Structure 1
Amino acid sequence: MTFELVLMATAIHILIWEKLPEWGTWFNRFIAALPRPLSSLYEQWHCPYCAGFWIALVLHGLTGFWTIPALATLPEQLGVAATPIGWFLDALASATLIYAAIIGLKAIGLPAMKAHMMKEDFMNSKLSKDGAYIAEEY
């Protein structure tokens, strides 16, 4: 099993659904300007599994990377259907790993964000009105 495709697809998912909407209003205006069917797809594909499947399928076509390289050589009795079946199964497997990666990142992100906020609150409580830190004597 290789993870190049999954890593790229996870990064694309994070960029498109989590980061670009936060980077000013240009991306949200772009999505709103798309034809309704395309903007509806963007709204509906927040699911990392669903979007991950299509991202993995496109990335596989562009890069030739396989998450499960054994799917590149399916049995010959499948004939011409072997290649599309291999791509489909590989995209499904990739989508499962993408989903796990996104869920895992969100699971670690919440405690990390809480710890960061607690540290900020602590540091702010140690500031005097003029912005200098108050030294504590022990």
Structure 2
Amino acid sequence: MNITLALMGLALHILIWEKLPDWGNWFNWIVKRLPRPLAYLYDAWHCPFCFGFWAGLTLHALTGEYTIGHLATMPQYLGAAGIPIAWFLDALTTSLLIMFGSLCFNAISGLAVKGYQLKQSFKQGN
């Protein structure tokens, strides 16, 4: 298993939905002025699994990498349908890894913030 696509997709998801909205008003200004179909996609793809599927397809097309390497050689009896099936299954796997990574980061960050707050409170004598 190659996690390259999942890591790139997770990095993009964190950047687009968790970091850019907080880095000043310029990004939010752009999002508010998106055409309605693109604004819908921005809202709908907030889910890491939904975003991960389309990111997995796009990143596979750009890089030629597979998350599941065996999908690169689909059985011959599938013929021309083998390639779209392989891309679909690979994007599905990539989206699952992106969702898992997002959930793990959210769980870890919640504990880290709570630990930091408790440490600061202890230092201040509260």
* Structure 1 position 121, deviation (Å): 2.3
For the residue of structure 2 that corresponds to 1:34, the secondary structure is coil
Task: Write the deviation string for residues 14-66 of structure 1: whole angstroms up to 9, x where unpaired.
Answer: 00111111111110111111101101110111110000000111001001111
1:111 and 2:114 matched: no
Task: Write the deviation string for residues 100-127 of structure 1: whole angstroms up to 9, x where unpaired.
Answer: 110011111111110111122233349x
Q: Which has the larger radius of gyration?
A: 1
Q: Which range moved further: 26-35 or 115-124? A: 115-124
TM-score of the pair, normalised by structure 2: 0.95
Aligned length: 126
Name stretches of at least 5 consecutive residues in structure 1 with no aligned partner: 127-138
Q: Map 1:5-84 to 2 at 5 A.
A: 5-84=5-84
State the match for 1:124 in structure 2. Answer: 124
For the residue of structure 2 that corresponds to 1:108, the secondary structure is helix
CA separation in 2, counterparts of 1:124 and 1:14? 33
Aligned sequence identity (%)? 52
